[in-house]
Structure 1
Amino acid sequence: MKSIASMLLGLTLGLGASAANAQQTLRIGVEGEYAPFNEVDKNGKLKGFDVDIANALCDEMQVKCSFVIQTWDGIIPALISNKYEMIVSSVSMTEKRKAVVAFSKPYYKEHAVFVGPKGKEMAIDGDGLKGKTIGVQTASAYEKMLKEKFPAATAKSYPAVPDHNLDLNNGRLDAVLAARLPMLDWLKTRDGKNFEVKGQAFKDAKYMGEGAGIALRKGDTALMNKVNAALDNILKNGKYDAINNKYFPVSIRP
C-alpha cells in the first residue's frame, strides 16, 4: 500500500504535469479581416502573414497556437480581460497602446496610403481634402492620423477595412486611408481595379509608432522574453523571409 506521502507526491506531480500540458497551447488574438495579414478564407480557414508568423513563433517556443478571432475595436480589451495571451494582428506600437499593453520587438513596419478612383485628381493636403469623405477603420492609427493631420476631411469610420473598401467601390466615399500593403493587395482584385494610390505614402511614427508588434499583458515578462527570443530566431534562420516572400514583393523586415 502506498504511503500518504507518496500518494500526495504523485498527486502533486500529476497536477504539475497537467499544468505543463495546459501551457502547451498559447491563445492568440487576431482580427481575421485584414488581408493579406489575417483573414478567414471561403472555407473558414484563418490565414495570412500574421497567422504564419504566429505559427512560426509557436514552433520556436515549442507550443501550439490556438487562434481567437476578435473584432478590431475590442482586440486589446479582450487581451486585458484574459481572452488570450497575446495579439498577433498587425497592431501598431503607439504610445497610447503602450500605456495599456506591453509590446514585443517590432516584427514589421508599414506605411499609410490614400486610395481613391483612378484618374480623379486629389491633392493630399489640408485644402485638397476639404469636403472629401474619407473612409478609415475605427480605433486604428489611420483614424487618428486622418482626424489630426487632415482635419478638413470628413472621416467616416468602419469596423473593418473590407467595410470601407466596399463603400469606396460603391461610390459612397471619395477615398480611404489605410495601410499600404493590404490596399495594394486589394487594388489587384476585381473590386479594386478602378482605384489607385493617391499621393505619397506616409510613415509617420507619431501615428504608426515603431512598427507592428506583438501585444501581451503588462507583467507577462517570461512570455515576452520567449516571444522576443523566438522572433530573433526566425529573423536569423530564414523562416521570417520565407513568410515575407510568400505574401509581399518587398521586404517588410523590422
Structure 2
Amino acid sequence: MKHICWFFLALALLLPGTAAAGSPLRIATEGAYPPFNDVDRDGNPVGFDVDIARALCKTMNVECTVQIVAWDNLLPGLAAGDFDVIVASMAKTPERKAVADFTNYYYRSRSTFAGDPDKGFRQTREGLTGKTLAAQAGTVQARYLEDNYGGTSTIRLTGTNKEAFDLLASDGADAVLCDSLTIFTFLQSEEGRRFDFVGIPLPVSSPSSEARIAVRKGDGRLLKALNEALREIRLNGSYEQINRAYFPFSIY
C-alpha cells in the first residue's frame, strides 16, 4: 500500500487548484449530449462523461466540481481559466490542439448518419444533392458536412445534438451526422423508433473516433495526472462498471 500512498501524494502535489491547495478541481461538461452528458430534473450534471470525471477525481483523491457549459464556450472558458478540465466527449483536432492539450482517449466511436431507412440513402455527394443534412455546430461532424456536402446539400447546424435529432424527427432534416453512440441512444427513444443508422460510418481515422479530456495548453502536470488516473480506473474496474451502466458493449 505504500506505493499507492505515494501515488496519491504525488498527484495532490501535481494538481493545481485541487482540494489539497484549498480549492477543488473544476470540471466542465456540455450537459446536452446524452448519454454522455446531460442534466437531470434538478439541473444536476449526469451521464457517462460525468461519471468518468468523478471516478478520476476519486482515483486522484481530489475534490472536484462539475459545471454545465455551452459547447461553444468550453474551449474559450478553459483558456480563460474559468475551469481546469473539459470532460465532454471532445475529439482532438489541429484547431483545438492549438488552444488546449488532450489526454489519451477514454472512449472510441465512429461517426455515422441517422435517417429514415425507408426513404433510401446514398452516401455520395450526388446521392445527397438537394437533401437537408444536420449536425451540431462547432463539431467535427459539422465540419465534415460542410467540407463534403456544402453547396449541393442544405446543411443545418444546431446549437445542441438534441436539436439536430429534433430536426430529423420533425422532418426538418433528411439525416443527422453524429457519434454512433448518441444515435444508439436516440434510436431507443420514442421519437427515434422510425429511424436507423443509414450509410456507412466515417473512416476510423476520423478525429471523431476518439474522445479525450482537455486541459489548458501547457499544463503538463495535470495532463500527466489525468492520464495516470485514466489508466488506473481501467485497471481497477471502475471504467468497466461505468461503461456497463450505459452500454451493453465496450466503448473503450
TM-score by length of 2: 0.88
Partner of residue 44, structure 2: 45
CA distance in 2, matches of 1:213, 1:19: 21
One-letter code aligned to 1:154: T
One-letter code aligned to 2:238: K
Question: In the superposition, relative to structure 1, how do residues 206 and 182 fare at CA in structure 2: closer, same or farther (>3 Å)?
Answer: closer
Q: Is the 8 A contact 1:79 1:87 kept in 2?
A: yes
Question: In the superposition, relative to structure 1, how do residues 111 and 19 fare at CA in structure 2: closer, same or farther (>3 Å)?
Answer: closer
CA distance in 1, matches of 2:108, 2:170: 30
Matches within 5 A, 1:1-254: 21-151=20-150, 152-208=152-208, 211-253=210-252
% identity of equivalent residues: 37
Q: Is the 8 A contact 1:24 1:63 kept in 2?
A: no
CA distance in 1, matches of 2:58, 2:109: 25
CA distance in 1, matches of 2:214, 2:147: 25
Question: In the superposition, relative to structure 1, how do residues 164 and 118 fare at CA in structure 2: closer, same or farther (>3 Å)?
Answer: same
CA distance in 2, matches of 1:44, 1:100: 29
CA offsets, 1:72-118, max 9 Å, x none? 11111111011100100000011221111000111111111111124
CA distance in 2, matches of 1:175, 1:206: 19
CA offsets, 1:169-196, max 9 Å, x none? 1111111111100111011000111111
Q: Secondary structure at the match of 1:205?
A: coil
Stretches of 4+ aligned residues off by more than 3 angstroms: 18-24
Q: Is the 8 A contact 1:116 1:175 kept in 2?
A: yes
Question: In the superposition, relative to structure 1, how do residues 79 and 19 fare at CA in structure 2: closer, same or farther (>3 Å)?
Answer: closer
Question: In the superposition, relative to structure 1, how do residues 22 and 135 fare at CA in structure 2: closer, same or farther (>3 Å)?
Answer: same
CA distance in 2, matches of 1:92, 1:19: 25
Question: In the superposition, relative to structure 1, how do residues 206 and 195 fare at CA in structure 2: closer, same or farther (>3 Å)?
Answer: closer
CA offsets, 1:199-235, max 9 Å, x none? 1122443442x61111000121211111111011011
Question: In the superposition, relative to structure 1, how do residues 61 and 164 fare at CA in structure 2: closer, same or farther (>3 Å)?
Answer: same
Q: Secondary structure at the match of 1:215?
A: strand
TM-aligned CA deviation for residue 68 of structure 1: 1.5
Q: Is the 8 A contact 1:144 1:207 kept in 2?
A: no
TM-aligned CA deviation for residue 149 of structure 1: 2.6
Q: Secondary structure at the match of 1:190?
A: coil
> How many aligned positions are there?
235
Structure 1's unaligned 5+ residue stretches are 1-17
CA distance in 2, matches of 1:82, 1:123: 45
Structure 2's unaligned 5+ residue stretches are 1-16
